[in-house]
Structure 1
Amino acid sequence: MSDSKFALYISIASLVTFLIVAFYGNYNQRENEIHKPVMEPTKPIAFKNAKTIPLPEKIDLAGEAVPLHIDDVKERLDKELHINSYWHNNTIFLFKRANRWFPVIEPILKKNGVPDDFKYLALIESGLENVTSYAGAVGFWQILKSTGKEYGLEINRDVDERYHPVKSTEAACKYLKRAYQKFGNWTLVAASYNRGMRGMQNALDNQKVDNYYDLMLNDETSRYVFRILAIKQIFESPEDYGLDISKEHLYEPYVYRTDTVRNSTDWVDYAKAQNTSYKTLRIYNPWIQDDDIRIGRNEYYVVSLPLRD
C-alpha cells in the first residue's frame, strides 16, 4: 500500500471516530436535558409596601421657606424624599450615627450662631463617617486640605484636625458664617458649601437672579440643598416615611475622659500605659495620623480616652 493511500485511510478512520463520538455526546446531552427536573421560573420580588410619598405642605431650611409652588422645586424635593425613604440601609445608619454625633455638633453650631439645620449638611456630606472624597476632602465636614489650613486646622504627618469632630465643626462654622456675611441667605450658604462661594456668586451674576431656587446649576449642586431638606424632613418625622427607629438600636455618644500630652510620644506605648489599645485610641481620636507624634516646645494635644471602670 502506498504512503498516500495509507494516509487517506487514516484520515477517513479519524473522521468516522470523531462523528461517532460527537453523535453519542450530543445524544447523551439531549437525554440529560430531557430528564432534567423542570425548574419553576423565578418570580420577580414584589415590594408590597412600596408606595408614593406625599410631600409636606411646607418646609424650610434654617427658617427660609422653600417655594414648593414652583414645579421643578417640588419635583426635586419629591425625588430626594423618595430616594432617602427607600434607601433604607443607608438612612437607618444615618439615624444611628447621628445619635452619637449630633450632641457634639449641635452645641457648636448654636455657640457660633449657625442654624441647627446645618447638622444635616454634615450628615449628607459624609454620613458622619471619616471618609475621603475623590477630591481629597475628608472628615465629617469634607474639608479640603487648603480650606482646613485657611480656617485654622493643623494638618501634617502626625495630625489631621479635619478628622477632629469638634475642631472640624468649628472650622465649618467659620466658613458658614463667612458665607452668610457674603450672601445674607442660609440657603445660598448651604449651596456654596458644595459649589464654593465664588462659584455661587458667579452663577447668581451670570443668570441675574438672587436666590438658589431660580438658578440653573450642575446636577450635584442642583440636588444638594434638596438632599439636606429631605434628610431633615425624614429625621423630623421618620414614621411618615416608613422608618421605625428603635432608640435602643442607636449608637450611644462616646463617654470619655481627657488627658493632655505635652511630649513626643509613641501612641502604641501611650495607649498601653492608659490601659487601652492603640485601636481604641485611634477610634476616640481620629485626628491622630501616625503611631507616634513629635511635639515641639509649648505644644500640647488633648487626647480623648474611654472612661476607666
Structure 2
Amino acid sequence: MKTIKNILATIGLIALSGLFIFAMKKSTDEAQLSNASKSANETRPVKDYNVYALSVPESLDFANEAVPLKNPDILERMDRELLVNTYWQSNGLLMFKRAAKYFPIIEPILKKNGVPDDFKYLAVIESGLTNAVSPAGARGVWQIMKTTGRENGLEINSNVDERYHLEMATEVACKYLLKAKAQLGSWTLAAAAYNAGNAGVSRRLEEQGVSDYYDLLLGEETGRYLFRIVAVKEILSHPNKYGFNFDEKDLYTSVPTYKVAVDTAVTDFSKFAKNFGINYKILKLHNPWLREAHLNNKSRKKYSIDIPKEGYYK
C-alpha cells in the first residue's frame, strides 16, 4: 500500500511539474506576442489624423499696417501663433461661434468711433468673447481695469459693474485706443498699449531707441500680443483654409431684446423678472453688469435693462 501511495505521489508531482512548465511557456508566449503587438502599434503611423505645417501668408496686416514678414524673427513668431491657434481646435470653433453672436454688436461701435474693424480681434484674444476676470482684476469682454473704467465714465461697484456691459465697455475701449494712437503714432502700438499700457510702451520705445512695435524687445505676453491678434484675424477670416468646418446653424446668435428704463431702486430682481415673463437667471444673462439681486440706485440714475423678446426662452 505504501509503495502504491509513493508511486501515485510521484505521478502527481510529475503532472504538476508539467502543468507548471506549460503555464510558464504560455505566459512567456503571450508576453512576447503582447510586446510584439505593442511594438508594432508604436511604429505604425496614425492614418486617421494628420498634423500639417502651415504656410504663413505672403502678406498680413493689422489695421492696414503691414506685418514685416521678411524679417525671420517676425516670420517665426507669426508662424507660432498661427500653429497654436489653428491646432487648438475646440477654442477655435468657440471663437467662430461667439464671433457670430458678438461681432455684430462690436463692429458698429468701432466704426462710429473711427477705430479700425480689426480691433474686434483684440477682444477675442483678451477674453475669448466672454465676461472673463483676470488675476489683475480686469473684467468683461474688453478686460477693462477698474481705474480705466471709472476714468472713462463707467459705474463700477459691488452693485453695478458696467465693465460687463458690452456696448458701454466697447465705447471705453475705443476711447483708450484712440488716445493711445494719438500718443504713440500707430494702431499697432495702440494695440500693444492696450496690453502693456501707454506709459509702458512709450518707455520701452524710448529705452530701445526704436519707433515700431516689431522692433521692440518685449516680455512674453506683450511680445506675442500683436501676433496673436493677427493670427486670430487670419483664421477667423479664412476658416476652411485652416481646417475649420461648420454650418451657419452651428454658430451662436443673439436673442432679440428690448430695453426697459429704470430710475428707481429695485428690491428684488427675481420678482422684477417675473413681471416680464422671464426668470432671474435669464435677466442676469442679458444684464451681467447687474452684480447683485437688487439695484440700490440711491442717486435715481436712469438705467436701461435688456429684456428678451417673448418666445425665445420656453
* Alignment match, 2:64: 63
Unaligned runs of 5+ in 2: 1-19
* Alignment match, 1:303: 305
* Alignment match, 1:72: 73
* Alignment match, 1:225: 226
Output the amino acid matched with 1:181: A
Q: Deviations over 1:29-62 (max 9, x none)?
A: x98x949975553946836321111111101100
Shift of the alpha carbon at 1:245?
Answer: 2.7
Output the amino acid matched with 1:286: P
Give the RMSD, CA atoms, in angstroms: 1.9
CA distance in 1, matches of 2:111, 2:305: 24
Q: 3-state SS of the aligned residue for 1:293?
A: coil
> Contact 2:127–2:142 at 8 Å: present in 1 too?
yes
> Contact 2:265–2:300 at 8 Å: present in 1 too?
no
Shift of the alpha carbon at 1:165?
Answer: 0.6
After TM superposition, the score normalised by the length of structure 2 is: 0.85
Q: Deviations over 1:84-132 (max 9, x none)?
A: 1110000110110010000000000000000000000000000000110
CA distance in 2, matches of 1:209, 1:245: 43
* Alignment match, 1:153: 154
CA distance in 1, matches of 2:301, 2:221: 41
Where does 1:183-202 land on structure 2 (aligned, <5 Å)? Answer: 183-202=184-203
Q: Does 1:105 align with 2:102?
A: no
> Contact 1:100–1:254 at 8 Å: present in 2 too?
no
Output the amino acid matched with 2:296: R
* Alignment match, 2:283: 281
* Alignment match, 2:124: 123
CA distance in 2, matches of 1:123, 1:158: 27
Aligned length: 280
Q: 3-state SS of the aligned residue for 2:139?
A: coil
* Alignment match, 1:14: none
Q: CA, structure 1 residues 37+166, in 2 after alignment: closer, same or farther (shift >3 Å)?
A: farther
> Contact 1:105–1:169 at 8 Å: present in 2 too?
yes
CA distance in 1, matches of 2:253, 2:157: 31
* Alignment match, 2:12: none
CA distance in 2, matches of 1:172, 1:246: 31
Q: Deviations over 1:140-197 (max 9, x none)?
A: 0011111111111100121000000100000111100110110120000011111110
> Contact 1:120–1:232 at 8 Å: present in 2 too?
yes
Unaligned runs of 5+ in 1: 1-26
CA distance in 1, matches of 2:186, 2:301: 39
CA distance in 2, matches of 1:308, 1:239: 36
Q: Which moved more, 1:203-212 or 1:44-53?
A: 44-53
* Alignment match, 2:49: 48
Where does 1:211-290 land on structure 2 (aligned, <5 Å)? Answer: 211-265=212-266, 266-290=268-292
Q: Does 1:208 align with 2:205?
A: no
CA distance in 1, matches of 2:190, 2:254: 29
CA distance in 1, matches of 2:137, 2:54: 36
Output the amino acid matched with 1:91: G
CA distance in 1, matches of 2:93, 2:104: 18
Shift of the alpha carbon at 1:243?
Answer: 1.0
Q: 3-state SS of the aligned residue for 1:305?
A: strand
Identity of aligned residues (%): 45
* Alignment match, 2:4: none
Q: 3-state SS of the aligned residue for 2:304?
A: strand
